Structure 1
Amino acid sequence: MPSNVEIKAKVSDLTQFAQKAAELSQSEGTIIRQHDTFFSCSQGRLKLRDFMNGSGQLIFYERPDTDGPKLSRYSITPTSDPQSLQVVLSEALGVKGEVKKERRLFLIGQTRVHLDTVEGLGHYMELEVVMRPEQTVAEGQQVAEDLMEKLGVSKESLVTGAYMDLLLKEHKEI
């Protein structure tokens, strides 16, 4: 199963973070709109990502809910009919919730840097260090920590869990 080392953090200054990511990636990034539906499942997380253009991905992943760099294992299957698949999976498994976001993707070395505006939550960043077969988790964590420093991401801004978890927590507190 492929894996990456991930971190997620709250972003206080969207413009400043975007400028640093653009400098490091030597690009303005790619805008991607995503509508994720999370389904109930007994282990890990299962989500259907709809790119709002007739394409999507069914994604299963497992990772610990801790802040800082952590290993995530995942499986991805593309789909050309996310709406129909969403109906079937909703009926079969039940829906845990939905996350709608606009993502700006930057590529820096072996790392996917996401600058996300999440409906109902605000601005966040994610680093996904795509692990090479010969790399150790510690090496992936070091790549993530080095990039955090270059992007000005503080340890205090790190968050645990998925956006779905944060949205469910917000909803419970209302």
Structure 2
Amino acid sequence: MPSNVEIKARVSNATRLAERASQLSQSEGTVIHQQDTFFNCSTGRLKLRNLMQDGSGQLIFYERPDCDGPKVSNYSLSTTQDPEGLRTVLADSLGVKGEVRKERRLFLVGQTRVHLDSVEGLGHYMELEVVLREDQRPEEGEAIARSLMKELGVGDDSLVTGAYVDLLLEGQG
């Protein structure tokens, strides 16, 4: 199962973070509109990501601890050309836990995906996903994430636990 090291943090100044990410990635980033539907499941999280621009989607199962700071996430992913049809089947069979709508600006910095997210009902957040190579230990990914946090000006005091859906369900918007 592929894995990555992730962190999620609240962002107080989205413009400044976007400028730093732009400098590090040497790009303006790619804007992506996403709707994630989370389904009830017994372990981990199961979400269907509707990639609003092109009508495609991704069914993603992942497991990661709910703690702040860098954490390893193991995931599996399958693409679909019928996200709405798949959503109906999964909703009917498993039930919907919650939904997250966001505008994501994606920057690539080395092996790290830097996401600047504007989440409906929550505000601005940043995610780092250090995609681990097969031969790479999680500790190396954590070191990369910590280093990028410093370069982006993200302090430990802004780190959050859980997924956006959890924050929305807890009313932390």
TM-score range for the pair, normalised by the shorter chain length: over 0.9
| Structure 1 counterpart of 2:25, one-letter code | S
User: 1:124-143 deviations in whole A, cap 9, x for unaligned?
Assistant: 00000000111111111000
- The 5 A counterparts of 1:43-62 are 43-52=43-52, 53-62=54-63
Query: How far did 1:93 drift?
Result: 0.1
Moved over 4 A (4+): none
Answering whether residue 93 of structure 2 is matched by residue 92 of structure 1, we say: yes
- The total of aligned residue pairs comes to 172
User: 1:68-127 deviations in whole A, cap 9, x for unaligned?
Assistant: 000000001000000000000000000000000000000000000000000000000000
SS of aligned partner of 2:60: strand
Alpha-carbon distance between aligned partners in 2 of 1:49 and 1:147, rounded to the nearest angstrom: 26
Alpha-carbon distance between aligned partners in 1 of 2:62 and 2:136, rounded to the nearest angstrom: 19
Answering whether residue 124 of structure 2 is matched by residue 126 of structure 1, we say: no
C-alpha RMSD of matched pairs (Å): 1.0
Between the two proteins, what is the percent identity of the paired residues? 68
TM-score, length-normalised on structure 2?
0.98
Answering whether residue 2 of structure 2 is matched by residue 2 of structure 1, we say: yes
2:110 corresponds to: 109
TM-score, length-normalised on structure 1?
0.97
Query: How far did 1:153 drift?
Result: 0.3
SS of aligned partner of 1:170: coil
- The 5 A counterparts of 1:23-172 are 23-52=23-52, 53-170=54-171
SS of aligned partner of 2:171: helix
Stretches of structure 2 that go unaligned for 5 or more consecutive residues are: none
Query: How far did 1:145 drift?
Result: 0.2
2:11 corresponds to: 11
Alpha-carbon distance between aligned partners in 1 of 2:144 and 2:155, rounded to the nearest angstrom: 15
Alpha-carbon distance between aligned partners in 1 of 2:135 and 2:151, rounded to the nearest angstrom: 25
Alpha-carbon distance between aligned partners in 1 of 2:16 and 2:40, rounded to the nearest angstrom: 37
